[in-house]
Amino acid sequence: MKIRKAVIPAAGLGTRVLPASKAMPKEMLPIVDKPAIQFIVEEAVKSGIEDILIITSRGKTTVEDHFDRAPELEARLLANGKEDICRQIVDISKLANIQYIRQKETKGLGHAVYCAKTFVGDEPFAVLYGDDVILGETPACKELCDVYEKYSLGVAGIQPVEPSQIQKYCSLAVEQLGASNIYKVTDMVEKPKPEQVLSNFSILGRVVLPPQIFPILENTSPGANGEIQLTDAMRTLAQQQGMMGVQYSGTRFDMGNKLGILQAAVTVALTHPEVREPFKAYLKQVVSQLD
Ligand code: UTP
């Protein structure tokens, strides 16, 4: 079945990037000249998604404003002969059919996804974590949707993480299918203790889920950090009907993390037509002075 709907949870508190995220949602932090969440919406659209639900919360109205029209700004740009940037601004509001719902309490990613129950209805859907930007030739969401369409099972976007870091993530039990980038996921544990680590593979930023996740989420109690964890619900899903994993080909940048924000900025700047050359010259100068 073709995946037409996507959910972008963007209601988290962003405590790891305070104070930047105090009044500005981390999902709106710019990567050179575009907010992180626009990269994510563009990835969804390139993956064939038609309808998007963004889960927001108090203080995140800038997300809605960004994907809306801005008539005063547009008029001023046109009056000043800036047609090009004006077109770009208008195009943002036409990217996709975007709806919003508020998660009234930040009870965890699983709870945020549960808020999408009515929007999703009875079909499979993609989840693109609002603070994970993935850059690459092929959209990561598309790679997952293709695997869903082939196996009709939930799919997690997976990557190996540094063994010393796995306790901050979820850890997966996986079986690789031949020499491919596709895996069977048989078990998972969120924020594992050392003796619970299943492998260094984790779920990073993207999943495609069947609607059967909703009754499971309804019965999922708070887990790690006292939050309703999507991982706990996906573990039940994997046990009930199996799940797949795909090691996507792009590079993931964690916009909920200071280093991730810097890495994303450098990477995008080095391909940006306007700033690439002067930025490269600046970077070379900085590097030559490093000890
Ligand atoms: P994170 O756990 O990375 O976000 O969730 P967080 O809670 O903001 O992180 P801290 O405070 O820095 O540790 C991944 C994605 O899920 C969303 C976040 O906005 C982020 O995009 N999320 C998380 C929700 O929408 N609701 C929640 O209750 C928690």
Write the pLDDT tens digit of every residue in 151-197. Answer: 999 999 999 999 999 999 999 999 999 889 999 999 999 999 999 99
For ligand 1, the distance from its centroid to the CA atom of residue 259, given in whole angstroms, is 17
Residue 135 has pLDDT above 90, yes or no: yes
The Cα-based distances of 56 to 194, 213, 265 in angstroms read 34, 20, 24
**What's the CA-to-centroid distance between 254 and ligand 1, angstroms?**
11
For residue 10, the CA-to-ligand 1 centroid distance in Å is 7
Is residue 21 over pLDDT 90? yes
pLDDT of residue 213: 98
Report the percentage of the chain scoring pLDDT > 70: 100
Model pLDDT for residues 102-126, shown as the tens digit of each residue: 999 999 999 999 999 999 999 999 9
pLDDT at 188: 95
* Ligand 1 atom nearest 108 alpha carbon: 28
Q: What is the pLDDT of residues 70-100, one digit of tens each?
A: 999 999 999 999 999 999 999 999 999 999 9
Residue 50 has a pLDDT of 95
Q: From residue 44, how far is each of 185, 227, 235, 263 by CA, in Å?
A: 23, 26, 25, 22
How confident is the model at residue 229, as a pLDDT? 95
The whole-angstrom separation of Cα 205 and Cα 189 is 16
How many Cα atoms within 13 Å fall on the side-chain side of residue 232?
Answer: 20
Asked whether 256 lines ligand 1 (CB < 6 A), one says yes
Predicted confidence at residue 181, as pLDDT, reads 96
Beta-strand runs (E) in 22-108? 30-31, 34-35, 51-56, 97-102
Burial 74-99 (b: 16+ CB within 10 A, else e): beebeeeeeeeebeebeebeeebebe
> Of ligand 1's atoms, which has the minimum distance to the CA of residue 13?
8
pLDDT at 147: 97
233 in Cβ contact with 213 (< 8 Å): yes
Ligand 1 neighbourhood includes 112 CB (under 6 angstroms) = yes
Give the bridge partners for 154, in sequence order: 243
Q: What residues form DSSP beta bridges with 86?
A: none
Going from the Cα of 27 to the center of ligand 1, the distance in angstroms, rounded, reads 10
What pLDDT, in 10s, does the model give residues 234-271?
999 999 999 999 999 999 999 999 999 999 999 999 99
Q: Rounded to the nearest 5 degrees, what angle is found at the Cα of 233, between the Cα atoms of 167 and 157?
A: 60
109 in contact with ligand 1, CB cutoff 6 A:
yes
For the Cβ of 140 lying below 6 angstroms from any atom of ligand 1, the answer is no
**161: its two tokens:** 């993480």
**Closest atom, ligand 1, to C-alpha of 132:** 21
Name the closest-CA residue to atom 21, ligand 1. 130
| Pairwise pLDDT comparison (24 vs 179), residue with the higher score | 24
b or e along 29-48 (b: 16 or more beta carbons within 10 Å of the residue's beta carbon)? bebbebbbbbbbbebbbebb
pTM as predicted? 0.96
Contact indicator for 190, 212 with CB cutoff of 8 Å: no
d(CA 155, CA 4): 15
- Cβ of 9 less than 6 Å from ligand 1: yes
pLDDT of residue 291: 84
pLDDT of residue 1: 81
* Cα 166 from Cα 163, distance rounded (Å): 5
User: How much is the mean pLDDT over the chain?
Assistant: 96
223 neighbors 190 (Cβ within 8 angstroms): yes
Atom of ligand 1 nearest to the CA of 16: 12
How far apart, in whole angstroms, are the C-alpha atoms of residue 205 and residue 23? 23
Query: Which numbered atom of ligand 1 lies nearest the CA of 8?
Result: 21
